[in-house]
Amino acid sequence: METSEILNKFSPDHKNMLGILHALQDNNPNNYLNEEDIGAIARYLNTTLSHVYGVATYYTMFSLKPRGKYIIRACNSPVCNMIGSVSIIEELKKVLKIEVGETTDDRMFTLELTECLGQCDIAPVMMINKEIYGNLDAEKIKTIIENLKNK
């Protein structure tokens, strides 16, 4: 979808900044906000580039660099930490052969950490795009990643 079509779904009001950022990021096949997006938002909302950059960099759900088709967000908050998220994160790094913050060479997966996902009862937890996966262990991680690779 064209950027202008997306912008026109919102009234040009600053309170719509987050919604617009989400919509443009979701529209990008590489799951990020590029310079053109930031410029278009600034013009549409009649604000400065630095203001839009400030908002986009404040929230961890936005990225200014290309990411994978699947954004994996592993919970790194206390409850998940107590129930083994550190080894889950290590397993993800091993299976994907990347570090936190990196994207696989085939642009399939990006690994990120997140604060509590509100699913502590099924800790340790991760979210892949908009789907939650809980009660994770090394075997489950391998299966989930394999299934996504074969989709």
- Rounded to the nearest whole angstrom, what is the least distance from the CB of residue 129 to ligand FES in the complex? 17
Interaction residues for ligand FES, span 120-139 (CB under 6 A)? 120, 123, 125
Among 40-48, 78-86, 95-103, 142-150, which window interacts with ligand FES (CB under 6 A)?
78-86
Contacts 24+ apart (CB under 8 A), 3-6: 3/27, 3/36, 3/37, 3/40, 4/40
Number of residues that bind ligand FES (CB under 6 A): 11
Which of 64, 113, 116, 138: binder of ligand FES (CB under 6 A)?
Answer: 116
Contact footprint for ligand FES (CB under 6 A): 75, 77-80, 116-117, 119-120, 123, 125
